[in-house]
Chain A
């Protein structure tokens, strides 16, 4: 079956430091990866959509300078939160899918706490 793993599941970092999270697709080819953030008391916001061999599209309020994403192959993507501050706390979800109208599979998320 299709599975998406995320690592780490939980992480704590000091304010002003950076934190990298990973997303691994197993059992299917992750042509497209979407990164979402769920901040405390909020719903999921799309950060960016990444398609292999295409430019990564960031949503308004999110930038490559703050959330650089790597999507080097059809099974792996990573995102870094640079200079993390309190407002970056939350659950970061990776949703991966094969191209076209294929189903999107979500990982369990990486929960980021910023001290």
Chain B
């Protein structure tokens, strides 16, 4: 069973400073790794979906995947207070449509 762990649990950054979030997984055979965010009381918003090792950029959000290290990270450039949310890492499972989620990182961006 795929295990997904995120760190840190909570991260506070100042507006404009780069925010970096980490995610490790136990099974590197998955073909898809995603980052979502969830604002308080809301559903999921997908930020980046990455399929191969390297980097994928979507606006201010960049994911780095290193399958050999079982690691995928998310970097947020010039974070704003509106980016304050819980960020969730998800790894696609062997059953299509099944995602394994991490516990999330609470990001707080201070003006």
Q: Do A and B bind each other?
A: yes
- Contact between chains at A104 and B42 (CB < 8 Å): no
Name A residues whose Cβ lies closer than 8 Å to a Cβ of B.
Answer: 6, 32-34, 36, 42-44, 46, 49, 51, 57, 91, 93, 95, 97, 99-101, 103-104, 106-109, 111
| A-B interface pairs (CB < 8 A), number | 50
Q: SS class of chain A's interface: helix, strand, loop or mixed? A: strand
- What would 11 more interface pairs be, CB under 8 Å, given A36-B99, A43-B88? A6-B43, A46-B98, A49-B97, A91-B43, A93-B43, A101-B32, A104-B97, A106-B43, A108-B42, A108-B43, A109-B42
Binds A, one of B13-21, B53-61, B65-73, B100-108: B100-108
Tell me, in angstroms, the Cα distance from A104 to B96 when the chains sit together: 10
Identify which of B49, B96, B99, B104 contacts A32 (C-beta below 8 A): B96
Tell me, in angstroms, the Cα distance from A101 to B104 when the chains sit together: 25
Q: SS class of chain B's interface: helix, strand, loop or mixed? A: loop
- Contact between chains at B44 and A106 (CB < 8 Å): yes
- Contact between chains at A49 and B98 (CB < 8 Å): yes
- Contact between chains at B49 and A44 (CB < 8 Å): no
- Contact between chains at A44 and B101 (CB < 8 Å): yes
Tell me, in angstroms, the Cα distance from A33 to B97 when the chains sit together: 8
